[in-house]
Structure 1
Amino acid sequence: MARLHPYNFTHVLLPQLAWRRPSSVRRELSDPTLARELLHYVWNKAAENVHVVDRVAPKGLRLSWHEVAGRVTALFHLPPPQATMEAHFSALVYEEKDEPAETEAEELRPRYFTLEAALGLSGPAGTPTVVGEWAGEMHRQLGRGPAGGRPNTAEAFLEALATVLGPLPDTSVPFMRIVRS
Structure 2
Amino acid sequence: MARSHPYNFTHVLLPQLAWRRPSSVRRELSDPYLARELLLYVWEKAAEGLAPAEKVVAKGLRTTWHEVAGRATALFHLPPPQSTMEAYYSALVYEGDDDPETEEVRPRYFTLEAALGLSSAAGTPTMIGEWSGELHRHLGRGPAGGQPETHLAFLETLALVLGPLPDKGVPYMRVVRS
Q: Is the shorter-chain TM-score for this pair beyond 0.5, marking a shared fold?
A: yes
> 1:96: Cα distance to partner?
1.1
Structure 1 CA distance for aligned equivalents of residues 142 and 86 of structure 2:
14
Structure 1 position 49 matched with structure 2 position 49: yes
What's the CA shift string for 1:117-136, capped at 9, x where partnerless? 00011111100000000000
| SS of residue matched to 1:113 | strand
> 1:17: Cα distance to partner?
0.2
| SS of residue matched to 1:114 | strand
Contact kept? 2:114, 2:126, Cα under 8 Å: yes
Contact kept? 1:89, 1:116, Cα under 8 Å: yes
Which residue matches 2:176?
none
User: Which of the residues 133, 138, 142 maps onto 2:139?
Assistant: 142
User: Which of the residues 155, 159, 170 maps onto 2:156?
Assistant: 159
> 1:51: Cα distance to partner?
1.0
Which residue matches 1:29?
29
Structure 1 CA distance for aligned equivalents of residues 106 and 67 of structure 2:
17
Q: Counterpart of 2:44 in structure 1: which amino acid?
A: N
Structure 2 CA distance for aligned equivalents of residues 101 and 119 of structure 1:
45
* Identity across matched positions, percent: 76
Q: TM-score scaled to structure 1, two decimals?
A: 0.92
| SS of residue matched to 2:34 | helix
- The structure 1 segments of at least 4 consecutive aligned residues displaced by more than 3 Å after TM superposition are 97-102, 173-176
> 1:1-181, aligned counterparts within 5 Å?
1-96=1-96, 101=101, 106-174=103-171
> 1:3: Cα distance to partner?
0.2
Task: Identify which range, 46-55 or 93-102, moves more after superposition.
Answer: 93-102
Contact kept? 1:97, 1:108, Cα under 8 Å: no
Which residue matches 1:179?
none
Q: TM-score scaled to structure 2, two decimals?
A: 0.93
| SS of residue matched to 1:49 | coil
Count of aligned pairs between the two proteins = 173
Could you list the runs of 5+ residues in structure 2 that have no partner in the other structure? 174-178
> 1:173: Cα distance to partner?
3.8
Could you list the runs of 5+ residues in structure 1 that have no partner in the other structure? 177-181
Distance verdict in 2 for CA 1:46–1:100, change over 3 Å? same
> 1:100: Cα distance to partner?
5.0
Contact kept? 1:90, 1:113, Cα under 8 Å: yes
Contact kept? 2:23, 2:98, Cα under 8 Å: no
| SS of residue matched to 2:169 | coil
Structure 1 CA distance for aligned equivalents of residues 165 and 125 of structure 2:
29
